Chain A
Amino acid sequence: GAGVSQTPSNKVTEKGKYVELRCDPISGHTALYWYRQSLGQGPEFLIYFQGTGAADDSGLPNDRFFAVRPEGSVSTLKIQRTERGDSAVYLCASSLMGPPNTGELFFGEGSRLTVL
């Protein structure tokens, strides 16, 4: 596709449920990032992948959050036992290369998660 694609665009779930958010990066981009944006805040780093491996997962808030990128392209962010505080817009971005030569990040439109 022409840009980074994220699905679903909106997800409403109940507290305690499991959620998966999908990101399809720009073809050929080796680096993939997940950010979380809460209301009134800037994007907050969660995890980034270089190829298939998670190069830096220091931003994941706790062990309920997990992400995979098994074939070095599409990535899935998984949230177990969702809590109301997980409600946010989850942004995915990709870049041609990762740190330290990051270059421009290309963002998707985000997945808005609401936990009731």
Chain B
Amino acid sequence: AQRVTQPEKLLSVFKGAPVELKCNYSYSGSPELFWYVQYSRQRLQLLLRHISRESIKGFTADLNKGETSFHLKKPFAQEEDSAMYYCAFTGGGNKLTFGTGTQLKVEL
């Protein structure tokens, strides 16, 4: 079965520090991976997808098939980055499966 794992429930960093939110998946084929974000009192929304290979709000994520990972990174955290981040995955044309999420807290 396809599964996505986010090992950290909470990640706390200081403003200006680098951020890395971990995501690992289990799937033997070619996956499609996404990061969704939920800011306080807002709805869940797409942050980025690996196919696009773009940087959104300073965040990037690279698909590493060897390590089956899709970690989300940002070199310098900002206060407005505080939110809940969900890694999501689909493989073989199936529905989107979400991880349990990581709460990012950026402290001043």
Contact across chains for B43 and A108 when beta carbons are under 8 A apart: yes
A63-B33 Cα distance, complex, nearest whole Å: 31
How far is the CB of A48 from the nearest CB of chain B, in Å? 6
Q: Which of B12-20, B65-73, B93-101 contacts A (4 or more CB under 8 A)?
A: B93-101
Nearest-CB residue, chain B, relative to A48: B95
Q: Which of A16-24, A37-45, A68-76 contacts B (4 or more CB under 8 A)?
A: A37-45
Contact across chains for A42 and B98 when beta carbons are under 8 A apart: yes
A9-B46 Cα distance, complex, nearest whole Å: 22
Q: Which residues of A contact B25 (CB under 8 A)?
A: none
Contact across chains for A40 and B43 when beta carbons are under 8 A apart: no
Q: Which residues of A contact B101 (CB under 8 A)?
A: 41-42
How far is the CB of A65 from the nearest CB of chain B, in Å? 16
- Is A1 among interface residues, defined by CB-CB distance under 8 A? no
Contact across chains for B100 and A42 when beta carbons are under 8 A apart: yes
A42-B4 Cα distance, complex, nearest whole Å: 10
Residues of B within 8 A of A (CB): 6, 9, 32, 36, 43-46, 49, 86, 90, 92-101
